[in-house]
Amino acid sequence: MNHLPLIIKREYLTKVKNKSFIVMTVLSPLIMIVLISVVAYLSQLNNDTVRTITVLDESGFANGVFENTDKTKYNVLENMSLSDAKVLAKESGSVGLLHIDRVENIHTISNHIKFYSEESPSLSLISDLESKLEKKLTNIKLLENGVDLQMINDSKIRVNIAQESFAGEKTSKIDSIMKLAFGGAAGYLLFMFIIIYGNMIMRSVIEEKTSRIIEVIISSVKPMQLMLGKIIGTSLAGITQFVIWLVIGGILLSVVSLIFGINIQTPQQEMVEQAMANPELSMQVQDFINAFFHLPLTNLITAFILFFIGGYLLYSSLYAAIGAAVDNETDTQQFMLPIIMPLILAVYIGFFTVIEDPHGTVSTVFSFIPFTSPVVMLMRIPFGVPIWQQLVSLFILIATFMFTVWFAAKIYRVGILMYGKKPTYKELIKWIKY
């Protein structure tokens, strides 16, 4: 008799009715929203802060360089000694004092510029000051050498290489960015889902094994049905938890934004306003929108679902086998490395190889290896992978999953009834041959 639906139902209800599951389902989005709100609030405080920088230019070369902005005010001093300028900057609450020493030759000025402050200044502040000074001093030096700055500016040509396939399909750099973003997000989401809910399956098996409930269940249920029921039931519980997080998170974001007046969408609104005011930026936003709709969305969504399910089931069966083989979670450490390493390798190849060369030998080979293909193939597909390659990779993944379930069930069958003995790899091989 097929007890699989009953096992799935039992496993699912056991998980969703568990107090810790309910608490974490409710608290996790609440904690995340609190953190996001705190970061948004602190960012608003930081954005509203106007910093003042005191400038003492004794060289005269930096005249007109420092202009006030909404976020930064420059207090330019004249006819004052360095010691007095330091005292004034400290008493006035300035971020620091930028001192440009008196020099006769602009060639040596770079060694006579210092920034005095009470605390170490931020990297962005120093970089901004350096950029302003470099631009001004470079222009002065070019003028001294008899170079016409206007001629240089008029001679600058901006190059934007248009991209088009041999079939006539037009693409752009923004298209590549969108493909990279989608592939990276898909691969990373699968990686995190396997780690989080794979461990949940493993702990569930260990708990039932140590409580001896498994001895009663196994008398009327086949080990493979029991293992698959645990995997599918826990997966459905994980999906339920993820959906609840999205719903609660969206509601809490709106409530926090309305009650506390924290504008979490300020950066996006600023980008939209800048795009409306700047025609060039508006065109870039439109390019992003066009790039999104140029993606093969149907292929991407279908492949994401299939590879996500296949990859998750493959690794979940291994987690279940490990849970059955040990008596406590401490003993699982010796078996976790062979499972985690292919996942880490897949993420590494995805972010450092697929991005650079999505159709190269390394990317292509690892998109067919079943333990890395769910992540690598998901990151390759946005860049255009032939359907036959996707189907072959998916077939290999499914076949490997079926084989993995077979030998994992053999470990599961023996392991769930073994107590008081730490298993070794040699023991596992015996269980598989049994």
* Cα(301)–Cα(378) distance, integer angstroms: 10
Q: What is the C-alpha separation between 431 and 225, in angstroms, rounded?
A: 18
Beta strands in 78-179 (DSSP E): 96-100, 113-116, 163-164, 170-171
Report CA-CA distances (Å) from 288 to 199, 204, 260, 269.
Answer: 38, 44, 33, 16
Instruction: Give 428's contacts (C-beta < 8 A, 6+ positions apart).
Output: 325, 411
Residue whose tokens read 């059955």: 324
pLDDT of residue 275: 47
CA distance 357 to 180: 12
Q: Write the DSSP symbol of residue 354.
A: I
- What is the rounded CA–CA span in Å between residue 263 and residue 346? 38
One digit per residue, the tens of pLDDT, for the chain of length 434 reads 467 788 888 878 888 887 877 888 888 778 877 777 777 776 666 565 678 888 888 887 777 788 877 778 888 888 888 888 888 888 888 888 888 888 777 777 877 888 888 888 878 888 888 888 888 888 888 887 888 877 887 787 877 776 666 666 666 666 667 777 777 788 788 888 888 888 888 887 777 767 666 666 666 777 777 778 888 888 888 888 888 888 887 787 777 667 655 555 444 455 445 444 555 555 666 666 666 666 677 888 888 888 888 888 888 888 887 877 777 777 777 778 888 888 888 888 888 887 778 888 888 899 899 888 888 888 888 877 888 998 999 999 989 888 887 777 777 777 666 666 667 667 777 766 66
CB 320 within 8 A of CB 347: no
Give the distance from CA 123 to its chain's centroid: 24
E strands present in 101-193? 113-116, 163-164, 170-171
Cα–Cα distance measured from residue 234 to residue 209, given in angstroms and rounded to the nearest whole number: 16
Bridge partner list, 130: none
Q: Furthest-apart CA pair in the chain: how many Å?
A: 96
- Report whether 354 contacts 376 (CB < 8 A): yes
Six token digits for residue 359: 């159709």
Q: What is the DSSP letter of 332?
A: G
Residue 93 DSSP symbol: T
What's the confidence (pLDDT) of residue 391? 92
Helix (H, G, I), strand (E, B) or coil at 222: coil
- Closest Cα to residue 427, out of 415, 416, 409, 419? 415
Helix (H, G, I), strand (E, B) or coil at 422: coil
Q: Is 121 exposed, middle or buried (0-12, 13-18, 19+ CB in 10 A)?
A: middle
Which pLDDT score, from 0 to 100, does residue 266 have? 47
CA distances from 6 to 15, 23, 229 (A): 14, 26, 8
| CB 434, CB 223: distance < 8 Å | no
Beta strand 72-77 with 51-57: parallel, antiparallel or unpaired?
A: parallel
